[in-house]
Homo-oligomer: A and B are copies of this chain.
Amino acid sequence: MPKDVISILDLTRSEVERIFELSTLVERALKRRRKLNLLDGYTAALLFFEPSTRTRLSFEVACRKLGMDCLVVVGEAATSLAKGERLADTIRMLDSYADLIIIRHPKDGAARFAAEIAESPVLNAGDGAHEHPTQTLIDLCTIKRLKGCIDGLTIGVLGDVRYARAVGSLLKGLTLFSPKKVYLISPSFLRIRESLRIELKRRGLNFEEVENLVDVLPELDVLYVVRLQKERFPDPELYEKAKGSYAVTREILEKHAKSDLIVLHPLPRVDELDLSVDSTRWAAYFYQASLGVPVRIALIAYVFELERELVELAREGVS
């Protein structure tokens, strides 16, 4: 039982799978009652030094459904906090107010630092280009539910695999399982960083870096798409050229994809995932988004050792 979840690798494969199961119980319980209230009277602090409305709202809903009060520090307040005082002092303050700290921070390692200071559990909601473990739980849970099993799959990751926080975490999370093959599909200057490449090799992940989506698309069981951000490109013209090649459209899928491919995206999207895909059989990203709250509730319930209570709530829902 981890106190903190800073990296997806703070969890074992069996813990990750237990959280998937709990997320199903959460959904079942939420069909019968609007709130679970297992943490009534508890307080969660949501500390977002970097804006991320989706992640923040999803965590906030999860905490409230569990009955917690939420202390939300975002935007200007977070900025002035970040400027005005040492992170250690901030965390000490929040630790004295809150039973759970959820933190997003632009610097790699900030969440781990916070976890070392706080006595309350700390959940990493994204630190720099480093980790985003709850996104990874959601991504893996989506794959598990839709494909039955993560082992043995061929998975493509398309876009800026160098800087997208969700990608690094996902790849680490995949090392807990045994996918057949992972293709990293990106322009050559946006390949994964050397440190991550070494870690993935060491952990035995079978991956290959390629530049062309259509070359590997026919093999894929899962296509995970992330944003290509203009500002990462050496020059704007290069971006305009690349944009089309790293975008997923209904047309490309109809030409090259297996019929049971699932397309995931952590959202929000810009141009890399065309609206024309939304209504196709391949689109799994709205389902993926819908797991944001139940998976986060499941994780918090796991960290607070509320499995038994959750099982009871879900059973009541069935009987």
Contacts and interface: CB of A to CB of B under 8 A. Distances in A.
Interface in A191-224: none
A71 B60 contact: yes
Contacts of A86: 268-269, 275
A93 interface: yes
A144 interface: no
Binding site of A, secondary structure by majority: helix, strand, loop or mixed?
helix
Interface stretch (A73-81, A132-140, A298-306): A73-81
A215 B196 CA distance: 56
A234 interface: no
A107 interface: no
A290 to B, nearest CB: 5
A77 B74 contact: yes
A105 interface: no
B76 A51 contact: yes
A107 to B, nearest CB: 18
Interface in A286-314: 286, 289-290, 293
Contacts of A33: 41
A273 to B, nearest CB: 10
B57 A71 contact: yes
Interface string A30-60: 0001110000111101000001011011101
Contact of A41 (B35, B45, B74): B35
B268 A96 contact: no
Interface in A72-108: 73-78, 80-81, 84-86, 89-90, 92-94, 96-97
A267 interface: yes
Query: How many identical chains are in the complex?
Result: 3
Contact of A51 (B56, B58, B80): B80
A69 interface: yes
Interface residues of A, number: 46
A286 B89 CA distance: 9
A64 interface: yes
A98 to B, nearest CB: 8
Given A53-B80, A267-B89, A71 B61 contact: yes
Contact of A96 (B78, B84, B289): B289
Given A93-B57, A267-B85, A290-B96, A76 B73 contact: no
Contact of A84 (B35, B80, B268): B268
Interface of A: 33-35, 40-43, 45, 51, 53-54, 56-58, 60-61, 64, 69, 71, 73-78, 80-81, 84-86, 89-90, 92-94, 96-97, 267-270, 275, 286, 289-290, 293
27 contacts: A33-B41, A34-B42, A35-B41, A51-B77, A53-B77, A53-B78, A53-B80, A56-B77, A57-B71, A57-B94, A58-B97, A60-B71, A61-B97, A64-B69, A75-B77, A84-B268, A85-B267, A85-B268, A85-B269, A86-B269, A86-B275, A89-B267, A89-B268, A92-B286, A93-B267, A96-B293, A97-B293
